[in-house]
A = this chain, B = another copy of it.
Amino acid sequence: MLELLDLTQTLQKSEYATAMPELRAELRDLQQAILAAGIPVVVLLEGWDAAGKGDTIGTLVYPLDPRGFKVCTTHAPTEDDRFRPYLYRFWTRMPARGNFAFFDRGWHRRMLEGRIDGELDRQGLMVAAGEIREFERQLTDNGAVLLKFWLQTSKKEQKRRLADIANDRYERWRLQQPDRRKQLSYRRSLQVAEEMLALTSTANAPWTLIAAESRYFRRVDILHKVVAALRHALVARNLPLPVAPNEESPAAEPARLPDAAQVQIPPSSRPTLLDRVDLTRRLERKEYEKQLDPLQRRLQELELECYHQRLPVVVVYEGWDAAGKGGNIKRLTQELDPRGYEVIPIAAPDGTEKSHHYLWRFWRQLPKAGHIAIFDRSWYGRVLVERVEGFAAEPEWRRAYQEINEFERHQTEAGSVLVKFWMHVSPEEQLRRFEERERVPHKRHKITPDDWRNRARWGAYREAVVEMIERTSTSYSPWTIVEAEDKYWGRIKTLQTLVSALEEKLGVAGKK
């Protein structure tokens, strides 16, 4: 079947530039609908090396809220994996309801590599295929959307790409010996792929073949197909499709509490460090765009350098509701290789988490050396929401300043870099954004009655924030206060801060 795929399909840059913005906006809105519907989505990218799997994942996650997806790269099994049934490492990485998981290679590798290496005979292949079909049926039967893409390139193109990669200092690390070996027998790899595709293409989880010869064509084609599949999944479940940006949906129930907007924010009783923050700082859009691109690219280079030097990186975002954490994180991660970072949204602890020490769940989520973990809210909840709402008793949150300082030192002593942002806005700007969120359909999911309730306690939160910053800004893990009244300014500042911190720690000179 692969030889029937028209690998000459291509797309002009202008066509690409026209098609992408709308597809991205659609996928962004679909993510919210999928979250609301609680559908787990698994997207698998398969294909031989250099077919563009990583680039495709980058394209797909670009418009997504990074708190709602994870990227899973399938390497050779570790010792731990080998001590458990084959499907263990895939099962345990399945996304929660409403979340996406993108797999760069997956559970079909055994069928591919086992055949190439000659370790799997015909009968072993049948058993492996049977298990995979059962696994996939169990997922889709229980409500998951499973999208499987096979990226195909021609022999000539594959050879050319491998040569390109070998010559690119930022990409060279991706080449390993086995890649070359497989390249040697393109015909055999075609046979093996066809065999696998035929055995695991089922009604509930069919393979979609992608002509990956042209990058523009591949990106648009897959994005288009993912969007169509998600729309189909919502329709098949009798769920509403997201409202198109130009349609106006009937006004939803107002989320705000009665008169919450009129709540008087008490003035600060003493001038604090927050009063000294200059919220008039701003950047014009043009200037913002000029600065954004080189910073994002520099961060991309540094991400790779972190991997090489095995530097663990922890980035913490705290801030007022509607201070722009989500959008800021999105710009921070937009050009990063999604296999090298993870965004970890922190909500209230669940049952298992509550039955442990409050730091336990954060220890479990510390990044592996060489990876970046971005916490959207964090262990500082102990001295913010838990303090203000009374979830922690006073001796508990008072003790937490020291505990947190120690926790962070235990990381930096082990070589980690910690960068912490407090995203600061004025209460007036927050009110403006709350009201905008209620007005604009695709922003409405961002505002809840909790936001209004928290706003009503601005004074108590302000006191907690000041004490937090004063007591947990240490030499090894300082706070950076980000003037986020202007989003452009805030985004550039966080990027600059992170870039500088990494350059310093990695011992690489900044580009002027």
* In contact, A138 and B97 (Cβ under 8 angstroms): no
At the interface, yes or no: A3 with Cβ under 8 Å from chain B?
A: no
Residues of A403-418 whose CB lies within 8 A of B: 403, 406-407, 409-411, 413-414, 416
Task: Find A83's partner among B127, B350, B364, B369 (CB 8 Å cutoff).
Answer: B369
- List, in ascending order, chain B residues with CB within 8 A of A403's CB: 138, 141
Closest to A399 in B: B141
At the interface, yes or no: A267 with Cβ under 8 Å from chain B?
A: no
How far is it, in angstroms, between the C-alpha of A246 and the C-alpha of B351 when the chains are bound?
37
At the interface, yes or no: A116 with Cβ under 8 Å from chain B?
A: no
* In contact, A366 and B84 (Cβ under 8 angstroms): yes
Residues of A340-359 whose CB lies within 8 A of B: 350-353, 355-359
* In contact, A86 and B414 (Cβ under 8 angstroms): yes
State how many angstroms separate the Cβ of A220 from the closest Cβ of chain B: 32
Task: Find A91's partner among B134, B360, B414 (CB 8 Å cutoff).
Answer: B360
Given known contacts A142-B357, A357-B144, A84 and B368 CB-to-CB distance under 8 angstroms = yes
* In contact, A352 and B355 (Cβ under 8 angstroms): no
* In contact, B138 and A359 (Cβ under 8 angstroms): yes
* In contact, B363 and A83 (Cβ under 8 angstroms): no
State how many angstroms separate the Cβ of A308 from the closest Cβ of chain B: 14
Closest to A84 in B: B366
* In contact, A356 and B97 (Cβ under 8 angstroms): yes
Beyond A131-B409, A350-B352: 14 further Cβ-contacts under 8 Å?
A40-B356, A85-B366, A86-B410, A87-B410, A88-B366, A91-B359, A91-B360, A92-B363, A92-B364, A94-B360, A131-B413, A135-B410, A138-B357, A144-B357
The 7 A-B residue pairs with the shortest CB-CB distance, nearest first, are: A350-B351, A85-B414, A91-B363, A96-B355, A83-B369, A83-B368, A134-B406
